[in-house]
A and B are shown apart, each in its own frame.
Chain A
Amino acid sequence: MTAMLELDRVTKRFGGLLAVNNLSFVMQPGEILGLIGPNGAGKSTLFNLINGVFVPNSGRIVFNGIDITGEKPFLVAHHGLARTHQIVQPLTNMTVLENCTVGACFGREDLPLHRATEAARRAAALVGLDDRLHMLALHLTIAGKKRLELARALAAQPKLLLLDEVLAGLNPTEVEHMIGVIRRIRDSGVTILIIEHLMQAIMSLSDRIVVLNYGEKLAEGLPADVARDPQVIEAYLGDPKLAMQLESKDGGASHGNAANV
């Protein structure tokens, strides 16, 4: 079975800053892979490298058997890779239906206009926007805009979907709804790579987790294992030695030693 996505020692530098360092991992078709890591770990940069917004300094990115390293975004889209953005990018003066139609027209399937409109309707219905098809994107709430971002990506019938913080800013009910939508999308056969700060959500959605820290892979595995990995815990909670040295300087007069955290 061909891997859906393969990253082979991908590196990206911005001047002196090493944003992504020698990163490798593989995604199988139909899985949900969660990408976590402290702020600035390189997660969004990685998405930009995969879909062609940035070009890696070295390394390869292979999508469904095709080498897409450094290919322009619109070509990557034609291969069947779609993405949502952390800061939503709606086509503001177009309606929900028009936004989704653009996705359907120019994505993997390259449909003619009337077929694309049908695909657009289906995608909008999947995320629950079918009651607002003719509303201008700029009139949607933030939750609506996030759904539109997702519907537009889905309308292109992608094989791989990159979700960048699609839950951020949503209230708990909306988060629940979106999680259900994401599961349905996976069930329909789409492979998903997801970045999310809502840890409980991403840990429960993902089949596997990759942890990034300072642009490098810190850990990879099942969510439960990753959550107990001491290196991962230290990356998020900080260096325990700092506190222990403090206590010893103090003569042990401090309060807790956080050993069980």
Chain B
Amino acid sequence: MSDALLSVEGLEAGYGEVQVLWGLSLKARRGQLTAIVGANGAGKTTTLRAIAGTLTPWGGRVMFGDEDVTRLPSHVKAGRGLALVPEGRQLFSAMSVAENLELGAFSPHSSRSYAERLNQVFGLFPRLAERQRQRAGTLSGGEQQMVAIARGLMSDPEILIIDELSLGLAPVVVYQLLATLKQLKQAGLTILLVEQNVHLALALSDYAYVIAEGRIFTEGQPAELAAKPEIRRAYLGL
């Protein structure tokens, strides 16, 4: 069993006639937090969508563990331990917190009971326990992000894929969420994170990829990457 829980090879994808990803390869290693950064339009969200199955890749492979999951529909992937926390939360805002969590819990592969998972999630996010009957749409931005992450956790995933953590959230809230992610990582969860703020991404991750123009521009250990001008080049061209 390789140390890469999730492995993407030569991924090609796009929308309609427009191709966005031109052969992208990356790995998310077990028990690590892998970050993806890059300018808007570079293909970060497209990559996550193709991995999660919301978008069908035009070419390339997505390997989850030893299995080729490239063309599996997203609900099946979710059932196998691959959970996506989408950009902008995308909660069921008319439903309560508890209902949102329940909807995330469909997971044939999980060995733990629904009650156990719910307890774990409320343990990580006590605020949600207090507000479990509240309509999700009435929560604050930070609380909604908690629900989104919690919902992802309810399927007892092996890998949690998060599209934009810090977007639109106050720093104080971001720190809380990051602390929780650290805890989860220590408990063995693999995390793949797309993050708008490069500095934050480098500060958090064990390994980082920089996407530009639909390809991996550069990659490496955060400390190495921080020392080179490559990231700036990826964002600003020079």
Q: Confirm or deny: B168 has a beta carbon within 8 angstroms of a beta carbon on chain A.
A: no
A contact patch SS:
helix
Q: Confirm or deny: B131 has a beta carbon within 8 angstroms of a beta carbon on chain A.
A: no
**Across the interface, which residues of B come within 8 angstroms of A233, CB to CB?**
232, 235-236
Q: Within A14-58, which residues are at the interface with B (CB < 8 Å)?
A: 38-39
Q: Mark B17-60, 1 if CB is under 8 A from A, else 0.
A: 11110100000000000000001111000000000000000000
Q: In the complex the two chains form, is B171's CB within 8 Å of A242's CB?
A: yes
Q: In the complex the two chains form, is A246's CB within 8 Å of B232's CB?
A: no
Q: In the complex the two chains form, is A256's CB within 8 Å of B198's CB?
A: no
- Known contacts A255-B222, A256-B222, A260-B227; is-contact A243 B236 (Cβ 8 Å): no
A-B contact count (CB 8 A): 134
In the bound complex, CA of A230 to CA of B236 (Å): 12
Q: In the complex the two chains form, is B237's CB within 8 Å of A203's CB?
A: yes
In the bound complex, CA of A204 to CA of B237 (Å): 8
Q: Confirm or deny: B228 has a beta carbon within 8 angstroms of a beta carbon on chain A.
A: yes
Q: Confirm or deny: A66 has a beta carbon within 8 angstroms of a beta carbon on chain B.
A: no
How many chain B residues touch A (CB < 8 A): the figure is 44
**Across the interface, which residues of B come within 8 angstroms of A89, CB to CB?**
none
**Across the interface, which residues of A come within 8 angstroms of B171, CB to CB?**
242, 245
In the bound complex, CA of A141 to CA of B19 (Å): 12
In the bound complex, CA of A19 to CA of B235 (Å): 23
Q: In the complex the two chains form, is A258's CB within 8 Å of B226's CB?
A: yes
**Across the interface, which residues of B come within 8 angstroms of A168, CB to CB?**
18, 41
Segment of B62-70, B142-150, B153-161, B204-212 engaged in the interface with chain A:
B204-212
Across the two chains, which residue of chain B brings its CB closest to A246? Answer: B203
B86 to nearest A CB, angstroms?
A: 17
User: Footprint of B on A, CB under 8 Å?
Assistant: 38-39, 141-142, 168-169, 171-172, 197-204, 223-224, 226-227, 232-233, 236-240, 242-247, 249, 254-261
Known: A171-B22, A246-B200. 12 other contacts (CB 8 A): A169-B14, A169-B17, A200-B238, A201-B237, A223-B237, A223-B238, A226-B236, A238-B198, A246-B204, A249-B175, A261-B229, A261-B232
